[in-house]
Amino acid sequence: MMVSIGHSINLWILLPLSVSAYNTVTYTGFWTGSTISYTTNIVVLDGGVTDGVIVDEFLPYSTANEVITWTGDSTSYTTEYDPIDGTATVVEYVPYPKLYVTDTCTGDTTSYTTEYDPIDGTATVVEYVPYPKLYVTDTWTGDTTSYTTEYDPIDGTATVVEYVPYPKLYVTDTWTGDTTSYTTEYDPIDGTATVVEYVPYPKLYVTDTCTGDTTSYTTEYDPIDGTATVVEYVPYPKLYVTDTWTGDTTSYTTEYDPIDGTATVVEYVPYPKLYVTDTWTGDTTSYTTEYDPIDGTATVVEYVPYPKLYVTDTWTGDTTSYTTEYDPIDGTATVVEYVPYPKLYVTDTWTGDTTSYTTEYDPIDGTATVVEYVPYPKLYVTDTWTGDTTSYTTEYDPIDGTATVVEYVPYSSDDDRTSYSTSTTDIDVTNVGIKKRKVGSDTQTSFPDPSGKSFVAYEAKANALLIPSTFIIEVSLVISAFFLVATCF
């Protein structure tokens, strides 16, 4: 099969159709000719033996026509071949139909442009003609005549402005520069340009001394008399002297005397150094320098740390601490390591309401006793008194380790009436036992509560005891048990 690309290139594409019994293979393709064409190729093996025949059959393309508009000015043709389906499409390119319009432009000559619309298939040819021109004249700051054009799209005119230079007036003035200079000042009111020529001031030359090392110049202008004084500053004549100082390198300074017009250059050289060694309390070696302006020497003292001795001692703190004691006589430093006392812990009761701690140190055996003071376990009793308000007092018993809290309530109108009360404070009194105490002519009896809470009953003057019945049974059992144990012994 042959494929044509453009107008001059043909490609042959051969497709096998069948294989005969005589090893004949036929390939069919397409070509740009108008008739069927054949070519035959005989396949010969080595030794001259015919192996088969290859027949190439070329069929003409079937033709189709298509019309397309384009931007050219004349009709053009091109053929597009499709080797797959064997068709050749002849495309006819016809020019767009044209519409003509006119517009103005800023140029000086007529120009044309074409705008294509692929939607309605038309081409609009625009003729651009120059704006009609109006001519005016104006002044400007330039030195030559210049032109510019201003376009007005509303009235469709172009105004050509001719800018001519301002007429010039020339004046002269002085200035601080060294060369003649010019500047121009424009006056748009009267339409003139004043050219000012600045010429240098006439110069007077004088000489003076200065502290610098080189000759320098400065100019002082006097606008009153129109002169410029050029001052030449020449360095002071120098005298050289030498002195010592505390620095490590040689240094120079200059002292100026405007009276005699001289400059004294002082060269400061370092003091000659002497080196000595001493001990000090620091941990590293340190240096200091002591200057003696009388003999002109500098003594460099090297301070080295004291040699250290280490000892250990006890103290009352909770952490290990260190201190150093210096002995300037033998030149040693004793480092004392203070370690805490070993602690013993004991417990004791006290009259406070919270647990407290204190530490007692024994420097003889080197121990610290930490005493934990816990509050006394409390028993609560009630009594009457002559006051008007309730009052409290606490009585401590160091023998059995208890604290009795007495609540004093005011007398009632019937002071022979027996009363009792209970306390539900969570205090363990199971090991306290029965207590009796005399308060005036009254007897107070305190019984332990089996539940671990105190229970106090009171006997009034009439010796009548009013307590709950359940508690009486419990007290009876306790008393019976007491006599049973006594009998056994």
Is residue 156 within 8 A of residue 177, CB to CB? The reply is no
Query: Which two tokens mark 144?
Result: 């030559």
Please choose, from the candidates 429, 417, 431, the residue with its C-alpha nearest in 3D space to the C-alpha of residue 456.
429
pLDDT class for 80, splitting at 50, 70, 90?
A: confident
Of 184 and 50, which is predicted with more confidence? 184
Give the pLDDT of residue 363: 85
**Residue 252 scores a pLDDT above 70:** yes
Give the pLDDT of residue 265: 92
- Which amino acid type is present at position 431? N
DSSP state of 20: -
**Residue 13 scores a pLDDT above 80:** no
pLDDT class for 22, splitting at 50, 70, 90?
A: low
Give the pLDDT of residue 414: 56
Q: Per-residue pLDDT tens for 58-69?
A: 888 888 888 888
CA angle 72, 77, 81 (to 5 degrees): 135
Separation in Å, CA 142 to CA 135, 160, 166, 261, 480: 19, 17, 8, 57, 142
Please choose, from the candidates 76, 81, 77, 92, the residue with its C-alpha nearest in 3D space to the C-alpha of residue 33.
81
Is residue 231 within 8 A of residue 208, CB to CB? The reply is yes
Strand ranges inside 73-187, DSSP E: 76-82, 87-95, 98-105, 111-117, 122-130, 133-140, 146-152, 157-165, 168-175, 181-187
pLDDT class for 153, splitting at 50, 70, 90?
A: confident
CA 262, CA 239: separation in Å to the nearest integer? 7
**Residue 330 scores a pLDDT above 90:** no
Give the pLDDT of residue 325: 87
SS (H, E, C) 438-465: EECCEEEEEEECCCCCEEEEEECCCCCE
pLDDT class for 468, splitting at 50, 70, 90?
A: very low
In the chain, pLDDT over 90 holds for what percent of residues? 30
3-state secondary structure of 478: helix
CA 208, CA 233: separation in Å to the nearest integer? 5
pTM value surpassing 0.95: no
The residue written with tokens 């007398």 in the block is 411
The residue written with tokens 């400059």 in the block is 263
The number of CA neighbours under 13 Å toward the Cβ of 247 is 9
The arrangement of strands across the sheet holding 367-375 comes to 343-350, 367-375, 356-362
- In the predicted model, what is the mean pLDDT of residues 112-122? 87
3-state secondary structure of 423: coil
Q: Per-residue pLDDT tens for 192-239?
A: 899 999 999 898 999 988 888 899 999 888 888 888 999 999 998 989
CA 478, CA 472: separation in Å to the nearest integer? 10
Q: Per-residue pLDDT tens for 371-380?
A: 999 999 989 9
- Which amino acid type is present at position 335? V
**Residue 474 scores a pLDDT above 60:** no
Residue 404: CB atoms within 10 A of its CB come to 21
**Residue 438 scores a pLDDT above 90:** no
CA 130, CA 149: separation in Å to the nearest integer? 12
Span of 15-19, 369-373, 485-489 with lowest mean pLDDT: 15-19
Q: Domain ranges in the chain?
A: 1-95, 133-165, 168-200, 203-235, 238-270, 273-305, 308-340, 343-373, 376-488
**Residue 421 scores a pLDDT above 50:** no
